[in-house]
Structure 1
Amino acid sequence: MNAVGVIVEYNPFHNGHAFHLKASKEAANADVVIAVMSGNFLQRGEPALVSKWYRTKMALLNGVDLVFELPYRFAVQKAETFANGAVSILDAACCESVCFGSESGNISDFYQTINFLREHKQPFEGNIHQFIDTGVSYPKAVSLAFKQLANSEKYLDLAKPNNILGLEYIKAVNEQKSRIQPLTVPRKNADYHDEHFSSETIASATSIRKAIFSKLDGKTEIDQYVPEPTKQLLKDYLHHYLVFHQWENYWSYLQFRLLHTTPDDLREIYEMEEGLENRLLAAALEAASFQEFMRKVKTKRYTWTRLQRLCVHILTNTPKKEMNNQLGTASYLRLLGMTSKGREYLNKNKKNFSLPLVSKLSSFKDNEILLDVRASRVYSLGVPNQLKNEMIKQEFTQPPIYIK
């Protein structure tokens, strides 16, 4: 069975994702789609709208055959680390290809850009440092440095987030000497960060979440942008857990952590640097909400995403030492869900998997998975008190979801 891999968050699953799945399967001539999906906290440093279990159901009901969790140590990370973890999981699961959406939509653009960067490594890195010295953020510095060197349409636009991720996927495939074949399809209509609807059927996850939070009365305005299973699962989640997750659900816990932690201890948190702990502590004393807190700590040098990731690491109490010891590539395959076709693929191929398959957390004794457990416990703080224990227990008792 030919398997194509996709690297996703599905926050939530929408029509653009459905287009990507269909196009990926066609591009790879695949029988099976394997998704590596972020857990309860995401790459941009945000809690997922609904839990990984509900997002797994969305994936399986909309065309994915197997869902593996991207561990916290890769999920809440910069693009390079995120890509390394995800590609290593797809490689271990015997995927023939990985297909990603990109603003470019042309795989040759990626290889030309990678070759150009390899040939111009020193001046490129020098330009990055020069731009950082002017006070801009690292992603902005990378984009400006590349533009200064390679002002040509045959190279990627490194100001576009999906181009950057795609570049890192291919670099990860090369560095890991994986047999995976990278493929790309163009993103359809909505940009990654679009906050407003600009099409009749395709919208970004950002704009969909914004619409959801602006109108929580059950009469959602997102119906035309998401498939029917997503509509129903969002409705079910809100009915059962009474909330959708966002940073404001966790603000009081983050504020408590900041105000009851010494500056010395904060300096040990992963991604804390350059005296940021003092800025965070000062803002925590004054801010009445997470949004106000972020506005106070935001600078030209640090992106909103970078600061949000740091806040997640503070919330989960993840020190530099623990995270740095676990980077590189994945060490297990945590199975979240499967369809009948996915189960058939597992039965035929799992003996060839290069990493242990984890289908039940209580039977897996690897210390590296404890960070995922801690992140799930923290995520449960976002639901009402009477439901916290239920969500915490689910991490250990939930078997992989099976959709026939």
Structure 2
Amino acid sequence: MKATGIVVEYNPFHNGHLHHARQAKEVSGADAVIAVMSGQFLQRGEPAFADKWARTQMALANGIDLVFELPYVYATAQASDFAKGAIALLDAAGCESFCFGSEQGSIDPFHASYSLLREHRAAYEASIHEAVQTGISYPKALNKAYMELTGSESGFADLTQPNNILGFHYVEAAEKRGSAMKPLTIQRISAGYHDPVDRNSSIASATGIRKAFFEEGSIEEVSAFLPAPSLGVLRAFHAEYGAFGSWERFYPLLRYSILREKPKNLSRFSEVTEGIEHLIYEAAKKETEFDGFIRRIKSKRFTRTRLQRMLTHIYTGFTWEQLRSFEEPSYLRLLGMSETGKNYLNQKKKNIALPLISRAADLADPMGEVDIHASFMYGLGMGSGDMKKEFTTPPCYFG
């Protein structure tokens, strides 16, 4: 059996994701689609809209064959490390290819951009350092340095676009590890990453869907953008918890997590740097709502995404020391499988390059302990009294 890999968050699984999954299978000629999916906290530094079990159910009900969890260490990291962890897991799972959605829609520009940056790495990094010193954000410094290299030449990936940026890092990660996986991309259709929902379309971004839900207060208001199985899973999740995950819901506990520390102690948490801990502490003292809090600390230097990742690590207690202790993913955590996925594992299990874990009780290493703790903290933020869910929930099965 052949498998193609995709990297996802499914926050939540919408019609655009369904298109991606189907196209990935078609363009790769694969028998199975393997998804590496973020767990309870996401790359933009946010609690997941629904927990990893609900999102796994949505994935399997919509045609995904295997879902593996991207460990917290990578799921909440900047793009290059996020991609490094995800590609390592897809490689270990035996995928022959990986496929990502992009604004570019063609794979050649990504190869061209990778070759360009590899050839001019020293000049590129020097330009980034120089730009950061002027006070602009790191993402803007990256883009400035990249534009200086590419100039007006065509044939390179447009790295101002969010999905192109992630796609570039997937290609880069695969190249650096010498992976035999073939990179593929499909055109992202209709909605852009940050676009609000368009009521005349059946495609909307996950960001737009979440925004519309929180404004309207009803999952039915965004039902047109979701496959029927996703809608059913989200209704069940909301019935269980009475809400969906957001920083607004988690903020009282985040605020406590900040204020229980002295400002200098906040700097020990991952990504907290450059003295921002003092501003975070003072803002938490003054602001009773998350929106006011994040507006008070956001600046040109510190983007909302960068700040939210810091806040995620403060909330979960994830430190610089822990971050620096991890080099590579150490296991494949199985969250769910279809019948096809089960057959794939039975056929390929001797060739899977990492330990295959199906129970939290078997996550007996520091990276796994971080994942388990993150799940506890997510459940706490959602108001769940069941702190055993991580241990009592078996992999989802969709036959």
Q: TM-score, normalised by structure 1?
A: 0.96
Does 2:300 correspond to 1:304? no
Deviations 1:190-224 (A, max 9, x none): 11111332751111001101111122246x22122
Deviations 1:291-349 (A, max 9, x none): 111000011011100000000000001111011101x3210000000001100001111
Deviation at 1:115, TM superposition (A): 1.0
Deviations 1:219-251 (A, max 9, x none): x22122110001111111111111111001111
Preserved contact between residue 360 and residue 372 of structure 2 (Cα < 8 Å): no
Preserved contact between residue 190 and residue 199 of structure 1 (Cα < 8 Å): no
Q: Which runs of 5+ in 1 are unaligned?
A: none
Structure-to-structure mapping, 1:315-354, within 5 angstroms: 315-326=315-326, 328-354=327-353
Q: TM-score, normalised by structure 2?
A: 0.97
Distance 1:363 1:319 in 2: 23
Preserved contact between residue 266 and residue 277 of structure 2 (Cα < 8 Å): yes
Look up the equivalent residue of 1:237 and give its one-letter code: F
Deviation at 1:149, TM superposition (A): 2.1
Look up the equivalent residue of 2:350 and give its one-letter code: K
Preserved contact between residue 361 and residue 396 of structure 1 (Cα < 8 Å): yes
Distance 1:229 1:179 in 2: 34
Does 2:226 correspond to 1:230? no
Deviation at 1:281, TM superposition (A): 0.8
Distance 1:19 1:172 in 2: 25
Look up the equivalent residue of 2:157 and give its one-letter code: L
Look up the equivalent residue of 1:200 and give its one-letter code: S
Q: Which runs of 5+ in 2 are unaligned?
A: none
Instruction: Give me the identity figure in percent.
Output: 46
| SS state at 2:310 partner | helix
Deviation at 1:368, TM superposition (A): 2.1
Partner of 2:173: 172
Does 2:139 correspond to 1:144? no
Preserved contact between residue 264 and residue 278 of structure 2 (Cα < 8 Å): no
Does 2:184 correspond to 1:188? no
Partner of 2:131: 131
Preserved contact between residue 190 and residue 198 of structure 1 (Cα < 8 Å): no
Look up the equivalent residue of 1:311 and give its one-letter code: L
Partner of 1:54: 54
Count of aligned residue pairs for this structure pair: 398
Distance 1:116 1:283 in 2: 42
Look up the equivalent residue of 1:342 and give its one-letter code: G
Distance 1:5 1:217 in 2: 33
My pick for the range that moved more, 153-162 or 182-191, is 153-162
Distance 1:375 1:194 in 2: 29
Distance 2:361 2:271 in 1: 30
Distance 2:157 2:141 in 1: 15
| SS state at 1:221 partner | helix
Preserved contact between residue 8 and residue 38 of structure 1 (Cα < 8 Å): yes
Distance 2:362 2:77 in 1: 28
Distance 1:267 1:175 in 2: 31
Cα RMSD (Å) of the superposition?
A: 1.2
Distance 1:99 1:364 in 2: 28
